[in-house]
Amino acid sequence: MKIPNFDDIIRAHELIGGIIHRTPVMTCSTINRMTGSELFFKCENLQKTGAFKFRGACNAVFSLTDEQATHGVGTHSSGNHAAALAFAASLRGIPAQIVMPSNSPDIKKKAVAGYGGIITFCEPTLESRETTLLHIAGQTGVEIIHPYNNTNVIAGQGTAAKELLELYPDLDIVMCPVGGGGLLSGTALSVKALIPDCRVIAAEPSGADDAYRSFKAGYLIPSIHPKTIADGLLTSLGELNFHIISRNVDDIITVSEESIIQGMQLIWERMKLIIEPSSAVPLAALLENKERFQNKRIGIILSGGNIDLQNLPF
């Protein structure tokens, strides 16, 4: 796999710019007052399919040659990447084979099916997911699009920070959550290319802190039994992602579950934005470390808004 650079992000933006939403950047004086910093929220919860994942999936799907695209694309995912890939494939008019664990929430099965994804259910283990996908790929010839450990996916995710910095070129810090590292690696590439002095700081739930531990150790340490309400961040960091993150990210901060819920509730109540818990992780880091971020101008990527409205944590 090629290590992506900012030129790939520029190309991705040219390719997908007419398909994705150029999401708004919102501010909130109350939350600024509470944190003592000036925050600029890039609203990827308002992106198509409800998450930044659509950028990467779109870039991956539309970067395929016609020959590569002939048999469609495939992935295993129980989350936002599955819906994003299914929708991107439908826009190109090719099939998307999605392997989902049989215990995936109904709401996620419905989302993938609603976007036209062809679902195959498997046992809820990583092994079963991978075996099932490889079996389907062997039968159908689909191109497998990994959710984050993929050059074009990373380049696509980097377009969110690019848009943010084009509007606000004087930020001190850009923050985003980290799970598999697709958003963080793309964000870091954009930020360091556009504003070398701007710091990139990721936030991670302390119950799923493999990126934090890998970053500090200098080598990849996978998650074992991660547990957090931020269900988008349960995955372990990818290799390509770790390579980019270890060279371009300034720090990773871990946060408590309580702060994630507090941050989420603040954004719902004060900003009127529906975000999923993963999106609240950077704000949680600010709430837990107010002195460190005093008077800074900080861009925050709100990663997604896909949440079961019947099952809110507040």
Q: Which residues bind its own copies (CB under 8 A)?
A: 21, 24, 26-27, 29-30, 45-46, 48, 50, 114, 265, 268-269, 271-275, 305, 309, 312, 314
> Minimum Å distance from CB 55 to its own copies?
16
Q: Cβ closer to its own copies: 54 or 242?
A: 54
> Minimum Å distance from CB 292 to its own copies?
26
Residue-wise burial string across 211-226, b where 16 or more C-beta atoms lie within 10 A, e elsewhere: bbbbbeeeebbebeeb
Any alpha helices (H) in 17-125, and if so which ranges? 29-35, 53-63, 66-69, 80-92, 106-114
Q: Cβ closer to its own copies: 65 or 311?
A: 311
Cα 181 to Cα 36, 109, 220: the distances in Å are 28, 24, 12
Cα 220 to Cα 66, 178, 249: the distances in Å are 35, 14, 15
Biggest CA pair distance of the chain: 57
Listed residue (290, 288, 301) closest to 262, CA to CA: 288
> Minimum Å distance from CB 102 to its own copies?
24
Beta bridge partners of residue 252, listed in sequence order:
202
Residue with token string 């992602």: 241
> Minimum Å distance from CB 45 to its own copies?
5
> Minimum Å distance from CB 73 to its own copies?
20
> Minimum Å distance from CB 76 to its own copies?
25
> Minimum Å distance from CB 255 to its own copies?
22
Q: Is 45 within 8 Å of 51 (Cβ atoms)?
A: yes
Angstrom distance (rounded) from CA 52 to CA 20: 10
Total number of residues shown for the chain = 314
Q: Cβ closer to its own copies: 123 or 269?
A: 269
Q: Cβ closer to its own copies: 33 or 225?
A: 33
Tokens of 105: 């929430």
Q: Cβ closer to its own copies: 8 or 44?
A: 44
Tokens of 286: 């600010």
Q: Cβ closer to its own copies: 46 or 249?
A: 46
Q: Cβ closer to its own copies: 156 or 305?
A: 305
Q: Cβ closer to its own copies: 191 or 274?
A: 274
> Minimum Å distance from CB 153 to its own copies?
22
Angstrom distance (rounded) from CA 296 to CA 286: 11
